[in-house]
Structure 1
Amino acid sequence: MTPRAPAERPPVVLYLTWLVLIGAAVGGFLTGEFSITFVGVGTLLLSLVPIWLGERVGVTLPTAFVSAIAAFLCATLLLGEVGDFYERYWWWDVVLHGGSAIGFGLVGSLLMLMLVKGERLTAAPLTVAFFAFCFAVMIGAVWEIWEFTLDQVFGLNTQKSGLVDTMWDLIVDTLGALIGAGAGWAYLKGRQNGPLTRAIHAFVDKNRRLFGDD
């Protein structure tokens, strides 16, 4: 039987993220910047969706997963769009693309682990990693198609410098996907000392029935 993951630390990042969002919403209301209030409240509600959805489908999300999702939403919607971080800091988009790609690489690894651990599929660790990598890159490519569609249909400028921006996004997505998929490979190889493999371990430990380990 797979050993249980150590007890989780208090969700400091999650609480701080919620505090920032609430502060932004209140501050926007007091100063008459209602667009900030709208984004702050909307982002806060979106950060609660994974918890709500997890309860509905019977999946328990570790604190690290929920915290990462909330922090990402805050970084891209509040800081990135309202705070104009995308324009102020050239590396902001790179960090978020890389982070999301790592996350989707982990999701792809977990999807494959559900099949492998549940004995619905036989696959080597390298096969699991390959699927996770392809899954994450696919999500990145679909996002670029979405941005292109928005620019063409609504006259927006989400792709900034066009082809150059798109290619750098895809390159960063690919590197992030490689890291996330590599974590899945490392987990199956018994190398669970890194933060990403510990995150996978925590998810598996909280949802043993999904992995055929009751």
Structure 2
Amino acid sequence: MFWSRLRAQPPLLRFMWATLLVAVVAALIERRWVLVFEAVATILMSMMPVFFARRFGIRLPLRFVAGIGLFLYATIFLGEAYDFYDRYWWWDVLMHGGAAMGFGLMGFLFIFMLFEGDRYAAPAWAMAMIAFCFSVTLGALWEIFEYAMDVNFGMNMQKSGLVDTMWDLIVDVIGASFGAAAGFFYLKGRDLGGLTGVIAEFVEINRRFFRRFGRR
């Protein structure tokens, strides 16, 4: 059962797991314990959506699972273990923007599930605004976490301090806007593919959570 579920995951995700396992073995041989921890943490965290979804009876689109795995691979393994955050100034921007879009989508889907798929339970702009606020709030909480780590444990997660924090929040707002906009256009019946396509696929394969979908 365990292995069958893993084999059913997207090829991209399985390829990332394979490279991470190779990295774990190499790091064990070289006794690079931090790298071992980061690689193992990436593997376990990227597997969590699969088992979380099964636990609650939710089916996740394969590209959604692949996107989460790719993000974790990029932010934890490449970003932290291989210093991509320091090597490439735009890496942090890319990660924050991607996370904000993802949280915007998740926020919208959560709201839509609460309404059981009723497109007319609230104005489209209101549901999109809630999704936007959900995403930006998570981004702000992350910045508070970074500040707490720097102050209490002498870390340097904020890099350049206020400037880094403000740019992160600006990128979070932009990313959240894209995620919320996808929900808005979906409610308006405009299938633009991409993010709206992910929403449509999620709703289609989880119809039991959207019993009022399509009703007037």
Give 1:62 deviation, angstroms.
Answer: 1.2
Shift of the alpha carbon at 1:120? 10
Match of 1:23 in 2: 22
What CA deviation, in whole Å up to 9, does each residue of 1:97-139 have, x standing for no partner? 0000000000111112113344598211111111111111111
Tell me, which stretches of 5 or more residues in structure 2 are unaligned? 1-8
Question: Does 1:181 pair with 2:180?
Answer: yes
1:141 aligns with 2:133: no
2:169 corresponding residue in structure 1: 170
| Equivalent in the alignment of 2:109 | 110
Q: Is residue 119–residue 187 contact of structure 2 (8 Å, CA) maintained in 1? A: no
**Which residue in the other structure is 2:199 paired with?**
200
Deviations 1:147-172 (A, max 9, x none): 11111111111000000000000000
Equivalent AA in structure 2 for residue 211 of structure 1: F
Give the letter for the 1:139 counterpart.
L
**Percent identity of equivalent pairs:** 50
Structure 1 residue ranges (4+ consecutive) displaced by more than 4 angstroms after TM superposition = 118-121
Deviation at 1:33, TM superposition (A): 2.3
Structure 1 range deviating more: 19-28 or 110-119: 110-119
User: Could you tell me which amino acid in structure 1 is paired with residue 53 of structure 2?
Assistant: G
Question: 1:39 — aligned with what?
Answer: 38
Alignment of 1:86-97 (within 5 A): 86-97=85-96
Distance 1:22 1:71 in 2: 15
Q: TM-score, normalised by structure 2?
A: 0.89
Q: Which secondary structure state, in structure 2, belongs to the residue aligned with residue 66 of structure 1?
A: helix
Q: Deviations over 1:24-51 (max 9, x none)?
A: 1122123332322222122101111111
Unaligned runs of 5+ in 1: 1-9
Give RMSD over aligned pairs. Answer: 1.9
**Which position in structure 2 is the counterpart of 1:63?**
62
Q: Specify the SS of the correspondent of 2:190.
A: coil
> Structure 1, residues 162-210: CA drift from partner, whole Å, max 9, x if none?
0000000000000000000000011111112321011111111121111
Q: TM (normalized to structure 1)? A: 0.90
**Counterpart in the other structure of 1:212:** 211
Rounded Cα–Cα distance in structure 2 between residues aligned with 1:23 and 1:129: 42
- Equivalents in 1 of 2:208, 2:145: separation in Å? 35
> How many angstroms does 1:20 deviate by?
2.2
Alpha-carbon contact 2:105-2:180 (below 8 Å) kept:
yes
Distance in structure 1 (CA, Å) of the matches to 2:201 and 2:73: 24
State the partner residue of 1:7.
none
Aligned residues: 206
